[in-house]
A = this chain, B = another copy of it.
Amino acid sequence: MPKRVPLTYAASGVDVGIRAQALAALLGGVRYRPPPDHGRPVDLAGHFAGLVRLGRETVALTTDTVGTKVLLAEELRRWEEVGEDIVGVNVNDLAAVGARPAALVDTILCARPDDGVFAGIGRGLDRGLRRAGCALVGGETAVVPDLVSGFDLGGTALGFFPRGRRPVTGERIRPGDVILGIPSTGFHANGYTLVRRLLREESVDLDQPRPGGRGPVGLELLRPTRIYSDAADAIADRPEVHGLVHLSGGGVRNFVRLQSDVEFRLDAWPEPPGLFGWVQALGPLSDHEMFGTFNMGIGFAVVVSARGAGEVLRRLARAGARDAQRIGRVAPGRGVSLPGRSLAYAGYA
């Protein structure tokens, strides 16, 4: 195998810098703010969910797609996992503001509807909705053969704040806070354009296990996004919880979405599961690229006062996250760092 320059997410066709610039061009045109009798948006630019005050309630709205992970599903002819991902990618963004999921609408774009595919997606949706405690209240199925090849799966989730709960925004994060992490179940639904390119270039057989892995590596890569709704719901009322992070696309850089004038120092990051190291070696990809693109084994994080950390860990365990652990702390400074690997990130995008 010839020696190669390390790959990047940008080189695989997804340049987050270009995307950020285009998004700025779009948002530059959107100046309208509605009158207060049309609801009051809560300004949380760049956060995981949009918040709106409606009458006597505050609701949270978030939208996301499963992205190119569906192409892996297509290759393996398995649709339950990505059906479940429609729920996971959305409710985890609600969890990151402390909102409890209430309703989901799905959007399926396809070149041609297929009963078997749709039935599999339905079973996966059901499993995800059950895990999140969320109802499906509608959806859109668009047959657009001129626009998409195969399938695109996305959705929008609506959450709310039970009586007495306030949105968790990160504004109360301060140096000295402790950072707890909850493990992921793999790549969730982020970075698959890059992962798939590596699989293709190295002619990986998806039906075989990777070295050290159990079961076909295709199935390992297809595992659905872990759903953190119950975990977040169990702690979002506690005043010692200062911030919640969903480590989606952008990996550890997601911490910066909570607050930009502290340093998130991830000094106790656990060794990432073997799947991540195996993908990294396929590239090879740099540590900087890996931690700035993928969740690297931790899919959700909680920023909590040092005094409150023990109680929050106990509550997380009772809500099904016995594997939550301390992964770092908040320090004076800016950005995100992993001192053990000499990594630092200044911003999110």
Residues of A near any B CB (own CB < 8 A): 13-15, 18-19, 21-23, 25-35, 37-39, 41, 49-52, 54-57, 59, 61-65, 67-68, 70-71, 100-103, 105-109, 112-126, 129-130, 133-150, 152, 154-156, 158, 160, 162-163, 193, 196
Q: Are A52 and B118 in contact (CB under 8 A)?
A: no
B21 in contact with A144 (CB, 8 Å): no
- Pairs across A and B, CB under 8 Å, 14 listed: A25-B116, A29-B126, A30-B126, A32-B126, A33-B135, A34-B135, A38-B135, A49-B138, A55-B56, A55-B57, A61-B103, A63-B107, A65-B144, A158-B158
Bound together, the chains give a CA A119 to CA B29 distance in angstroms of 6
Q: Knowing A26-B119, A148-B147 touch, does A135 contact B52 (C-beta < 8 A)?
A: yes
Closest to A45 in B: B138
Quick check: B119 and A34 within 8 Å, CB to CB? no
Contact A101 B38 (CB under 8 A): yes
Minimum CB–CB distance from A28 to chain B (whole Å) comes to 6
- Tell me if A107 and B154 are in contact (CB < 8 A): yes
Are A26 and B152 touching (Cβ within 8 A)? no
Contacts beyond the supplied A29-B123, A67-B144: 7 A-B pairs with Cβ under 8 Å: A29-B121, A39-B160, A50-B137, A61-B103, A61-B156, A70-B147, A154-B154
The 9 tightest CB contacts between A and B, nearest first, are A50-B137, A29-B122, A39-B102, A22-B113, A156-B156, A50-B138, A26-B122, A26-B118, A22-B118
Check B107 against A25 for contact (C-beta < 8 Å): no
Note all chain B residues with C-beta closer than 8 A to A67. Answer: 142, 144, 147
